[in-house]
């Protein structure tokens, strides 16, 4: 038996993480820095955007969720994050549709771009290649080509920051320079604090993974932090191969709180992603909800973001969740990187289509 606690045992970690998800996570801050320099070619034509739609699935849609969360404070136009085939009825001339797919092969996203172009929307694409890159080239659409070879969900830097750039060139400014600088600094500090080298006793991500292990996580966010709560859920599912759920306050206080009374709740662990700018009422709400849930849940934990700006706050919550889900996967004895069931769904659907 190893002398190390499970998450401090380098041999165990490298024998499980056979596809290097941990290395990608360590490099995430530099991925974000590099991504900030990527631009669209050709540039976006001048346009007055009346409606912004970001289309994507799974890991590639998260950049859209972040845009929608940041837009609440900044953008005078409505933002839709579209996950699915086709396009919403509200889409047409005056819509900027950015199709984001890391692989460029996701059929839902390709179908949305095609529908949007048919309906007279302005299209732009963020991808590493595939049919989406081909379509963008054929139609002369602004294309941000990002480096290939990562797991899509771990390429969030490449999928989000170029999106910011595309929007900025359309006059839709979501962040200021100091916020981007701060976000990168915060991520760099966290990278050093949360990686496998840092022992359990001083590693917030390892400690959180240990406390969640053996339970089903239910991650709650506020209006702002819901995007991070949903990301935690999907990262737990993909990296740890474990079901997880997310909820949103204040909405959950009008339905979900009752569900925690079930004896099965002892197998669930609530995590509240706090918002430092929440007002007193929102703060009391988290406290009261936590107290009521604590009587039945397997555990209740609060997590605070870092930084002053919204960008650093959201990215710090997301980066912490990525590490927590990675360690949770290792505790459960799985390789965090590959997602064979997602691949299998895609394979079967492709085969079902072939004559």
Query: Which of the residues are catalytic?
Result: 238, 254, 346
Q: How far is the CB of 312 from ligand F6R (least distance, A)?
A: 23
Nearer to ligand F6R, 47 or 342 (CB): 342
127-156 positions binding ligand F6R, by CB under 6 A:
151-153
Nearer to ligand F6R, 60 or 313 (CB): 60
Q: How far is the CB of 59 from ligand F6R (least distance, A)?
A: 3
Q: Smallest Cα–Cα separation from 122: which of 44, 211, 192, 65?
A: 44
- List the one residue from 31, 95, 101, 316 that touches ligand F6R (CB under 6 A): 101
Q: How far is the CB of 77 from ligand F6R (least distance, A)?
A: 25
Cα distances (Å, whole numbers) of residue 17 to 105, 295, 327: 26, 36, 10
Establish if 313 lies at the interface with ligand F6R (CB under 6 A).
Answer: no
| 180 touches 57 (CB < 8 A) | no
DSSP type of residue 249: T
- List the one residue from 31, 60, 112, 175 that touches ligand F6R (CB under 6 A): 60
- List the one residue from 59, 196, 217, 247 that touches ligand F6R (CB under 6 A): 59
Nearer to ligand F6R, 61 or 293 (CB): 61
Q: How far is the CB of 347 from ligand F6R (least distance, A)?
A: 12
Establish if 161 lies at the interface with ligand F6R (CB under 6 A).
Answer: no
- DSSP state string for 98-159: EEEESSS--HHHHHHHHHHHHTT-EEEEEESSHHHHHHHHHHT--EEE---SS-GGGGHHHH
Cross-strand partners of 12: none
| 134 touches 106 (CB < 8 A) | no
| 97 touches 124 (CB < 8 A) | yes
Establish if 239 lies at the interface with ligand F6R (CB under 6 A).
Answer: no
Residue partners of 191: CB distance under 8 A and separation at least 6: 25, 26, 28, 29, 319
Give residues in contact with ligand F6R (CB under 6 A): 57-60, 101-103, 106, 109, 151-153, 238, 339, 342
């Amino acid at each position: 038996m190893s002398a190390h606690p499970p998450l401090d045992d380098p041999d165990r970690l490298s024998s499980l993480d056979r596809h290097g998800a941990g290395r990608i996570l360590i490099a995430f801050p530099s991925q974000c820095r590099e991504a900030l320099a990527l631009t669209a070619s050709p540039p976006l034509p001048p346009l007055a955007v009346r409606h912004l739609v970001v289309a994507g699935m799974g890991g590639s849609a998260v950049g859209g969720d972040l845009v929608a969360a940041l837009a609440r404070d900044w953008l005078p136009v409505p933002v839709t994050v579209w996950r699915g085939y086709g396009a919403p009825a509200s889409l047409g001339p005056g819509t900027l549709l950015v199709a984001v797919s890391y692989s460029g092969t996701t059929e839902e996203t390709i179908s949305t771009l095609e529908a949007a172009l048919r309906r007279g929307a302005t299209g732009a694409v963020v991808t590493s290649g595939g049919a989406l890159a081909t379509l963008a080239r054929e139609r002369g659409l602004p294309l941000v080509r990002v480096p290939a070879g990562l797991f899509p969900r771990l390429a969030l830097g490449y999928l989000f920051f170029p999106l910011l750039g595309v929007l900025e060139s359309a006059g839709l400014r979501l962040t200021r320079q100091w916020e981007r600088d701060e976000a990168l600094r915060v991520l760099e500090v966290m990278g050093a604090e949360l990686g496998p080298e840092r022992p359990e006793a001083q590693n917030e991500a390892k400690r959180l993974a240990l406390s969640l292990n053996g339970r089903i996580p239910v991650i709650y966010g506020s209006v702002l932090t819901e995007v991070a709560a949903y990301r935690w859920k999907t990262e737990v599912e993909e990296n740890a191969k474990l079901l997880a759920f997310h909820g949103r306050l204040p909405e959950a206080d009008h339905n979900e709180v009752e569900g925690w009374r079930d004896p099965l709740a002892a197998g669930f662990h609530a995590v509240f992603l706090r918002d430092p700018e929440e007002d007193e009422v929102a703060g009391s709400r988290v406290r009261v909800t936590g107290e009521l849930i604590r009587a039945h849940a397997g555990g209740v934990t609060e997590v605070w973001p870092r930084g002053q700006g919204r960008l650093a706050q959201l990215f710090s919550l997301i980066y912490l969740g990525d590490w927590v889900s990675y360690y949770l996967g290792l505790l459960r004895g799985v390789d965090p990187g590959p997602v064979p069931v997602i691949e299998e769904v895609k394979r079967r659907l492709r085969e079902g289509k072939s004559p």
